[in-house]
Amino acid sequence: MIGEKACVKFDRLVHERSDRALSQKEELFINQHRAICTACAQEEELSFMAFDMLREAVLEADVDSGHFDLRVVRLAKVQQAKESVRYWSPALIGGAVACLAVFASLKLASFDGSVKKTHPPVGQARRVITSFPDLELPNVIHRNP
């Protein structure tokens, strides 16, 4: 009963096995198909190896070896984090874009502020300078006598 349909079903069940408990019938199908279809058996082994390597890499990163309970808790947390990241990733991307926009506008605002801060003294100084000729003090003094 090796056929494309059976291989597809095998592949699906192997992947579903990590998410839910398979029924006895499904387990039996997997075992039977693995025995008769070397391609699927090899693929299952490869994906298991890749998954184990990934899991080991994550677990070895910052948990002492020997603390099996901690490892299990850690794995559960990693799994949860992965799922929540997958769930929230569109929101996270949106949030990151919003943060960048806010950051950019803050940068712009602070840049504008610093320009405005340096301007008033210059303007005042100019006003003082330009207001002197307007007074025309010498003329006033000259006219008086």
- Which residues form the interface with Zn ion (CB under 5 A)? 7, 37, 40
Residue type for position 102: V
Q: 4 or 64: whose CB is closer to Zn ion? A: 4
Beta carbon of residue 28, minimum distance to Zn ion (angstroms, whole number)? 15
Q: Which is nearer to Zn ion, 42 or 114 (CB)?
A: 42
Residue 34's nearest CA partner among 61, 53, 9 is 9
Residues 13, 29 contacting (CB under 8 angstroms): yes
CB of 36 to Zn ion, least distance (A): 8
Q: Which two tokens mark 58?
A: 């994550």
CB of 13 to Zn ion, least distance (A): 11
The residue (of 27 and 56) whose beta carbon lies closer to Zn ion is 27
Task: Answer for the pair 22, 16: CB distance below 8 angstroms, yes or no.
Answer: yes
